[in-house]
Structure 1
């Protein structure tokens, strides 16, 4: 398929909630993309695994096949730097995020050698050894968060637990004081959730986030924490303030939203598949495998969190994508449900070999915090199953809602009931 054929194919047989001027339905305007994206993504993959669509107002080339996503993720001809985008993409605020959005000028939106240098600044904080040393503290925080709800026999997995755990952990890693964490979470959420389909809050949130981080760094300089936390170590090394601010923003967003979604989606998947839940209760050593299957089956990121931009004509999946800054969007959710890679991909099976899933990306931009996210997810789910017997939804499944996010896949609420299990007791 060439570019002209792909352009003709895009008018396709997609459900139409709202249609743009050129006849292409915006994916973000389709309720199914938010509520149940996998059938729509499967349809798009079947009709053309590399095709032009409109996504949140931006014309993009959507890539939906597992192998094509892996290949594109490694291709140096695709740039992550939004300054390489064409005029059509520049006109979309969230894509170009002009120079005033300093907090978004981070390693995820850069190419080598800048990306290599920026990633090296914090890579040592997320090694398997460092994460292993954090496990006791993660368990302690998990126990503290769940304790008040045990006598009640009910909690909201998302708001009471899943969001608070990773936010506390990444804040402690960075050195964000407890009294400032909710503010940072609120501002970071602007870049994850969309407000009625527009980005009107982004400029103000970016400015407020920068002010908050600048104030935090100033406080640390006046009362240095030294090597006690990551921000202290970055300040000791005398790194440029803008880089420290953008890095902090990225770690805050990536460090809690994705893990919160992993925990919430994991609990829901187990409740929806009681035979898998019982298997996991009988054989708790399968938890690591269950987490990998949760990441594949309904992972926290359905689209790559940044666009790539062509620096020359490039072939992806047999389609020629023109150079000149064309935007390319990789659908991790579609790749993880690709039947050419995973047999019966719509079946949730914790015994499946889920290795090779794309939940944390691929290539040089593979998520640096993946070991931390896996550790938090494993500890959180194991603790919930150990302390909460007879776990059940407290509302009708039809009442559950998913966040209106471009890239993330996460529930807004997940109320459950359970019978509390005393320490040392058998569920």
Structure 2
């Protein structure tokens, strides 16, 4: 594992999670203790590191809006049409209801058989060669295939999906805009095709949906597609990879899971807490307010460091330990309140089935520790680019 993060005087001026490397946790601890509600002058933003402070933000969307304003003027804030992450009530509630049916527990459970088929096909390389990259060979393609099939996207276009998704979460604004432009141009063409020939997929369902008797606007559908693509694969890719990191760092936990596979769901929850796939999210202050004696002004941004909250000792006893039996485990990895991740059940299921099949297929999995770990380049995400392993067939 990477050495402890070097806490520098200007470490608070973080613009992308990837700047912190794979061990930001000492910095989180330092900030929680000494400056838990920090004002970042460079960004004109507040940064929160404590669990309860972040809960306060998510519980009050009327004060901390999901809209984004690059100008600092809330009147200019972006109320993105179909992107649930950047939409406030009541529109958020209306739009979320449209896609909820695609992510009900029953619907997700019915996908288990297909997910197992996909995982088994992806593990074939390991069976044949004795080695694989858990990211490139499993964690990346699995959620991309699943969400592509839900959207009705043909297999030959999945690589483009992944490329656009990586650009959209990039800390580079130019890359982000390029990814969004190319993705939206692609889906505009898909929409035209579906208007001519509806299919049994989410895109066709959105075309036929309506809110209060009115059909969705094209921009709203495009926003939905963008969100489903990014949220549908980036978070799950990181979750699977981060689980691999945890099981490598704590082999005793992996051994216990092999002996009792019923521990896997609880272990995944601990992975979500211990190495959260998303380390922070942002809000915009739309009403002057006070938080623990600090005066937050209209137009200022608020960055909530989930990764820090999930290791807050006020909420989690012995937060620096990886405990696969931890209960309760009220982590914030999937958010809270109205913006709780809609795809959480799917991410959990994909990760659970991925490791069930890994442990069933290979009696031994050895991580190649001589290969340096490279953090993904992301504004908010936490994960590794590659995770090389040697495997032995069961």
> Which stretch of structure 1 is more off in the superposition, 319-328 or 73-82?
319-328
2:129 partner SS: coil
Partner residue in 1 for 2:89: 112
Per-residue Cα deviation, 1:156-209 (whole angstroms, up to 9, x for no partner): 000111010011111111212212221122112112133xxx322233322211
Partner residue in 2 for 1:259: 236
Contact kept, 8 Å, 1:262 with 1:295, in 2: the verdict is yes
In the alignment of these two chains, the number of paired residues is 383
Per-residue Cα deviation, 1:37-75 (whole angstroms, up to 9, x for no partner): 111111111112111126xx6331111111111121111
Q: 2-side partners of 1:121 and 1:74: how far apart?
A: 22
Partner residue in 2 for 1:141: 118
| Deviation at residue 223 of structure 1 after TM alignment | 2.6
Equivalent residue in structure 1 for 2:8, among 7, 15, 27: 15
Partner residue in 1 for 2:218: 241
Aligned CA distance change for structure 1 residues 372 and 112 (closer, same or farther; 3 Å): same
Equivalent residue in structure 1 for 2:192, among 207, 218, 223: 218
Q: 2-side partners of 1:223 and 1:85: how far apart?
A: 42
Partner residue in 2 for 1:47: 34
Aligned CA distance change for structure 1 residues 302 and 25 (closer, same or farther; 3 Å): closer
Contact kept, 8 Å, 1:142 with 1:380, in 2: the verdict is yes
TM-score calculated relative to the size of structure 2: 0.91
Q: 1-side partners of 2:156 and 2:17: how far apart?
A: 38
> Which stretch of structure 1 is more off in the superposition, 334-343 or 174-183?
174-183
Equivalent residue in structure 2 for 1:61, among 22, 33, 46: 46
Equivalent residue in structure 2 for 1:387, among 355, 358, 361: 361
| 1:168-317 equivalent positions in 2, closer than 5 A | 168-194=145-171, 198-225=172-199, 228-237=200-209, 238-304=215-281, 307-316=282-291
Aligned CA distance change for structure 1 residues 210 and 48 (closer, same or farther; 3 Å): same
Equivalent residue in structure 1 for 2:382, among 387, 402, 409: 409
Contact kept, 8 Å, 2:126 with 2:391, in 1: the verdict is no
Partner residue in 2 for 1:9: none
Cα RMSD for the two superposed structures: 2.3
Q: 1-side partners of 2:349 and 2:250: how far apart?
A: 23
Aligned CA distance change for structure 1 residues 64 and 383 (closer, same or farther; 3 Å): same
The yes-or-no answer on 1:377 pairing with 2:351 is yes
TM-score calculated relative to the size of structure 1: 0.84
Partner residue in 2 for 1:10: none
1:396 partner SS: coil
Contact kept, 8 Å, 1:15 with 1:30, in 2: the verdict is no
Q: 2-side partners of 1:84 and 1:414: how far apart?
A: 36
Q: 2-side partners of 1:338 and 1:261: how far apart?
A: 22
Per-residue Cα deviation, 1:327-357 (whole angstroms, up to 9, x for no partner): 1111110010001111111111101115210
Q: 2-side partners of 1:221 and 1:30: how far apart?
A: 40
Contact kept, 8 Å, 1:193 with 1:403, in 2: the verdict is no
Contact kept, 8 Å, 2:168 with 2:180, in 1: the verdict is no
Contact kept, 8 Å, 1:65 with 1:334, in 2: the verdict is yes
- Segments of structure 1 that go 5 or more residues without pairing to the other structure are 1-12, 91-95, 422-427
Q: 2-side partners of 1:388 and 1:400: how far apart?
A: 23
